[in-house]
Homo-oligomer: A and B are copies of this chain.
Amino acid sequence: MPIPSISQVRRTLIVPHGKPFDLAARDTGDRSLFEDKENAKTSLKKDAAVINELKDRLYAGKKRSVLVVLQGMDTAGKSGTIKGVFADTTPLGMEVKAFKAPSTNELARDYLWRVHDAVPRKGHIGIFDRSHYEDVLVVKVRGFAPPEAIAERYAQINAFEKHLTENGVVIVKCMLNVGYAEQGIRLQERLIEPHKRWKFNPADLEDRALWSDFMAAYETALSRCSTRHAPWYVIPSDSRSRRNAMIARLVRGALEDMDLEWPDPGHDAGDFTIV
């Protein structure tokens, strides 16, 4: 099996713009892109090296930036993606932002205020571990905001993301689609494995009990906010290695499309004499 092309990965995983979308029809265990696990690992390794190289050019240019949005239920692998896809990416020019429950200071502003503040600086790859989408996911499911306010947010988010893309930010949005059964296995691991126990949060079980509500909220958010400027990709995430390989293809694709060159410093070597 050859490594699937970037455009093949995109076509397979994208949420269509302006069309009906059925999240349940997306198989969380789909292996069609990477049947062979070793193939996934090989692909990831190659892409990780290219990502690191292009990241350095992005950093040198300091003109544009890349924002990788990671959303998913608990255990879907947001942290694992950061560690896996960017394992070969040096921290120079990287920004990771984990969104937690908003602080009092953040709640004193509109919900996009803290998100705008965390947009990656020019020249950087920013990774959002959760994002403004929480404001139409957990906020909706748990009723933290009035339904009529939430109903307005999809268009607001689309406008915000359009603004960012028009100002040099390339957005890669990945929904890490883990299955209910697989989440159960992973939560169990978190109860037992010494280096994972700290990750277990009893509140995760409350979200698990609301699984179908969350899936409905995801379906609406993905469908309404998969735009031409910032499409959503649904990543089958029951397999960690395949998940990482697919996301790496998308990140590499975003960077390659930017045609990043080492910037022209505007001078010639002969203009200066080093003494």
Q: Are B60 and A198 in contact (CB under 8 A)?
A: yes
Q: A20 on the interface (CB 8 Å rule)?
A: no
Cβ-defined partner of A87 (8 Å) among B90, B127, B199 = B90
A:191-221 near B, CB below 8 Å:
191-192, 194-195, 197-200, 202, 205, 208
Given A198-B265, A262-B194, answer yes or no on A272-B90 (Cβ-Cβ < 8 Å). Answer: no
Q: How many whole Å from A220's CB to the nearest CB in chain B?
A: 26
B-chain residues with CB within 8 Å of residue A61 when the two chains form the complex = 198
Q: A82 on the interface (CB 8 Å rule)?
A: yes
Q: How many whole Å from A225's CB to the nearest CB in chain B?
A: 25
Give A188's nearest chain B residue, CB to CB.
B274
Q: Which of A7-15, A91-99, A107-115, A248-256 contacts B (4 or more CB under 8 A)?
A: A91-99
Give A61's nearest chain B residue, CB to CB.
B198
Give the number of times this chain occurs in the complex, counting copies.
Answer: 2
B-chain residues with CB within 8 Å of residue A264 when the two chains form the complex = 197-198
Q: A18 on the interface (CB 8 Å rule)?
A: no
B-chain residues with CB within 8 Å of residue A208 when the two chains form the complex = 274
Give A185's nearest chain B residue, CB to CB.
B274
Give A87's nearest chain B residue, CB to CB.
B90
| Residue count of chain A within 8 Å CB distance of chain B | 41
Given A91-B96, A94-B94, answer yes or no on A200-B83 (Cβ-Cβ < 8 Å). Answer: no
How long is the Cα–Cα vector from A275 to B263 in the complex, in angstroms?
55
Q: How many whole Å from A182's CB to the nearest CB in chain B?
A: 12
Q: Are A202 and B274 in contact (CB under 8 A)?
A: no
Q: How many whole Å from A240's CB to the nearest CB in chain B?
A: 14
Q: A19 on the interface (CB 8 Å rule)?
A: no
Q: A28 on the interface (CB 8 Å rule)?
A: no
Q: A267 on the interface (CB 8 Å rule)?
A: yes
B-chain residues with CB within 8 Å of residue A82 when the two chains form the complex = 90-92
B-chain residues with CB within 8 Å of residue A133 when the two chains form the complex = none
Cβ-defined partner of A90 (8 Å) among B56, B86, B187 = B86
Query: Could you jot down 18 A-B contacts, CB within 8 Å?
Result: A56-B195, A61-B198, A79-B92, A82-B92, A83-B90, A87-B90, A91-B94, A91-B95, A191-B269, A191-B272, A192-B269, A195-B262, A197-B262, A197-B265, A198-B262, A200-B267, A200-B272, A208-B274
